Structures are given as C-alpha cells and as structure tokens.
Amino acid sequence: MKIFIDTGDVEAIRRAYDTGMVDGVTTNPTHIANSGRPFKEVIKEICSIVPGPVSAEAMGSNAEQLVQAAEDIAQIADNIVIKIPMNVEGLKAVPVLEDKGIKTNVTMIFSSTQCALAMKAGATFVSIVLSRLDAIANESDILIEDSMMIKSNFNFKSEVLAASLKTQNHALSCFRAGADIITIPESLLFQMYKHSLTTEGLAQFEKDWLKVAQ
C-alpha cells in the first residue's frame, strides 16, 4: 500500500514527506494555480523533495497535443508521471507515451468500465476520484472494489490509485479493497495518526511515569 500526497504546496509536501510515509505526489491544474507559481518551477521543486512518482497534468485537445505536452513535461525530472484525461484521445496517447518510457496516470475516472479501458490502454496508474462520486450519492467504495476485481481478473499491470479522499472512512474503504495507492491531502495524512484514546492513554502513561522511581 502506497500513500501519495495530493497538493501543489511544496511546504506541505516537505512536512508530509518528513514523516517517512509518503511514496509520491499528485498534482493538478487547480493545485498549481493555487500555488501562484509557474508550473514547471513548482513541479521541479516537488520532484527534488520526493524521489517517488510525481504526477503532473498534460493539457491538449487531441492525442498528438497530449503527447507533445507530455514529452515537454517529462524533461523536468526523471520521476515525472504524466496525468492524461480519461477520454478517447487520452487513451490513444497512453500507449504512445508508455512506449517512449514516459509513465502515465489516467485521471478523472468515475466508473469501473472507464477503469478497465484505462488499464487495457496500459497506463502505469489509473486514478479513481472518490469524493465527487459520493457527492452525487454513488458509492465510491463499490467502484474501488470493482476496479481491483477487474485488475485481478485480467492481470492488468496498472496500479489503482484512489484520489480525492476527504475522510478516514474513504481511506479505510481503499485499504479494505486492496487499492494499490491512495492520494490524500496533508491534513488527512496527519488525521490518520490521531485517536482520542491514543491521546488519553499516552497522557496517562506520561503522568504515571513521573511516579516511577528513577
């Protein structure tokens, strides 16, 4: 099980990576825009902090444009992964890029059939978006379970990446289903460390330790 951080905030990435729990990073145009900094500058700095996969989005209206944009982005660092849209043109670009040695991450997947097509195209990662599904009363945990079953049934090599997790229950559903990767905000990572009973228990231990003869 791998944990990626989903942000364009380099200081948040530094804090999260310092825990030793972070295996990679995902970004998107919104995250980069929120940083207020040039795209390539942000991506280059992230890649210098985290040696694992760093997903950056290629933009284009057809496969040729996506490939061209991806080749340009891939030159930033060796650990770049290119995010590709889940559509016909995107999946046409995936095998072209993979054949060139450029890893891809098909993003904005909301159904098990989309996931199957992305894995069949040969993407390194397939990103399933959870919270947006839950917002429209679709059960995202079922999608994760179905996606892992499809991967197993056909021995696809793509890693299933669960994205847009907002709660610890989202993370737990992914762990139960055996998702390869979850990508989460820094805040959720640090929430996962905490439990009220842990806090109470440790406080009691500290109090009692003061009574122990040294």
Question: How do 2-6 and 181-184 pair as beta strands?
Answer: parallel
Catalytic: 83? Answer: yes
- 108's CB contacts (< 8 A; 6+ apart) are 85, 86, 127, 129
Residue 31 · residue 8 · CB < 8 Å: yes
Please tell me which residue in 2, 40, 44, 83 is annotated as part of the active site.
Answer: 83
Residue bearing tokens 């990435």: 13
Host H or E run for residue 152: helix 140-154
Host H or E run for residue 107: strand 104-109
Residue 84 · residue 48 · CB < 8 Å: no
Length of the chain: 214
Give bridge partners of residue 24 from the DSSP assignment.
Answer: 4
CA pair distance 110, 168, nearest whole angstrom: 20
Residue of 51, 58, 61 lying closest to 32 (CA atoms) = 58
Give bridge partners of residue 1 from the DSSP assignment.
Answer: none
Host H or E run for residue 56: strand 54-57
Catalytic residues: 83
